[in-house]
Amino acid sequence: MQRVLALGMVLAIGALLVFTVSTNLLPFGSFPTRMIGENFENSIGQQILENAPRQTGAANVVTSVVWGYRGYDTLGEVTVLFTAVIGVVMIFRAFRRRE
């Protein structure tokens, strides 16, 4: 009974996903358009590509996104790295002490 219920649920969710993707997805190769400020035609990516060298002064647009437009996000990324290193060192020290 439980197995039949689980199988039915999986099939229902799968059918829902296939239906949603096949009806609401953008056509292949088209660019998403959104209202940003007064600009309707261009997406946020197009805006960044056009304005990044002038606003941040970096020739590499990826860098201007990583540290210019999304600085907080990258600071969090660095914090994640810091926490990961602390965790690894802590675990291996405890591992050594037990031996």
- Positions touching another protein (CB under 8 A) are 53, 56-60, 62-64, 66-68, 71-72, 74-75, 78, 81-82, 84-85, 88-89, 92-93, 95-96, 99
CB of 81 to another protein, least distance (A): 6
CA distance 70 to 72: 6
Closest CB to another protein among 39 and 68? 68
- For residue 29, give the amino acid letter: G
Angle at 31 between CA 46 and CA 29, to 5 degrees: 135
Closest CB to another protein among 5 and 78? 78
